[in-house]
């Protein structure tokens, strides 16, 4: 950041636009998205992006309906969820979950098997994880790990 940029930030920190194109509103919108607060993010974003952000939970739900946990299509679901977040300017990351003790099959506490190849894929945005287990609302990472542990999985996340 050069001297002129520092002066701009100091004179108008709310409306300053950085060289990457972010401003304080965009940053706040991305923060709300990372928290899973899509309604407030859409309201703050306004304009053409608002409906896309507001629609995101439905987009994720539709992908989950197409690729439920029992379909063993976590790769395809993760790709759809990743693309949906990317389309609104978020910074998603596809994560791979395996078991510390190399279990090949993962099942929920009610017996729904969701992995048969020793790994499971999900999408992380901020501290939230999205997959067929979390549903469209996502789940905070700590709770997600705890949920996997309750299924007998000792998660290794990459």
Which pLDDT does position 149 carry in this prediction?
A: 96
Which pLDDT does position 34 carry in this prediction?
A: 86
Rounded Cα–Cα distance for residues 87 and 99 (Å): 31
Among 74, 31, 25, 80, which residue's Cα sits nearest to residue 56? 80
Residues 37-92 have pLDDT tens digits of: 999 999 998 888 899 999 999 999 999 999 999 999 999 999 999 999 999 989 99
Which pLDDT does position 21 carry in this prediction?
A: 54
Question: With bands split at pLDDT 50, 70 and 90, how would you rate the model's confidence at 19?
Answer: low
Rounded Cα–Cα distance for residues 111 and 134 (Å): 16
Rounded Cα–Cα distance for residues 119 and 89 (Å): 28
Query: Cα-flanking dihedrals φ and ψ of residue 102, to 5°?
Result: 65, 30
Which pLDDT does position 28 carry in this prediction?
A: 86
The pTM is what?
Answer: 0.82
Residue whose tokens read 């693309």:
83
Which pLDDT does position 158 carry in this prediction?
A: 95
Q: How far apart are the first and last CA of the chain?
A: 33
- Report helix, strand or coil for 153: coil
Rounded Cα–Cα distance for residues 107 and 150 (Å): 10
Residue whose tokens read 């100091």:
10
Question: With bands split at pLDDT 50, 70 and 90, how would you rate the model's confidence at 20?
Answer: low
* 95 vs 20, higher pLDDT: 95
Residues 106-146 have pLDDT tens digits of: 999 999 999 999 999 999 999 999 999 999 999 999 999 99
Residues 6+ apart with CB under 8 A from 94: 78, 79, 82, 121, 122, 123, 124
Residue 154 confidence (pLDDT) above 90: yes
Phi-psi region of 83 (alpha: psi -120 to 50; beta: other; left: phi over 0): alpha
Question: With bands split at pLDDT 50, 70 and 90, how would you rate the model's confidence at 12?
Answer: low
What DSSP designation does 46 have?
-
């Amino acid at each position: 950041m050069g001297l002129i940029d520092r002066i701009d930030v100091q004179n108008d920190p709310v409306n300053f636009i950085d060289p990457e194109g972010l401003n304080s509103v965009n940053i706040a919108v991305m923060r709300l998205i990372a928290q899973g607060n899509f309604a407030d993010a859409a309201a703050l974003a306004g304009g053409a992006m608002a409906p896309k952000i507001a629609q995101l939970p439905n987009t994720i739900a539709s992908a989950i309906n197409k690729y439920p946990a029992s379909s063993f299509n976590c790769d395809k679901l993760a790709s759809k969820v990743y693309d949906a977040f990317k389309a609104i300017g978020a910074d998603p990351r596809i994560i791979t979950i395996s078991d510390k003790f190399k279990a090949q099959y993962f099942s929920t506490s009610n017996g729904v098997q969701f992995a048969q190849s020793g790994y499971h894929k999900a999408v992380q945005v901020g501290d939230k994880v999205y997959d067929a287990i979390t549903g469209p609302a996502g789940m905070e990472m700590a709770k997600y790990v705890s949920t996997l542990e309750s299924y007998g999985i000792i998660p290794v996340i990459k």
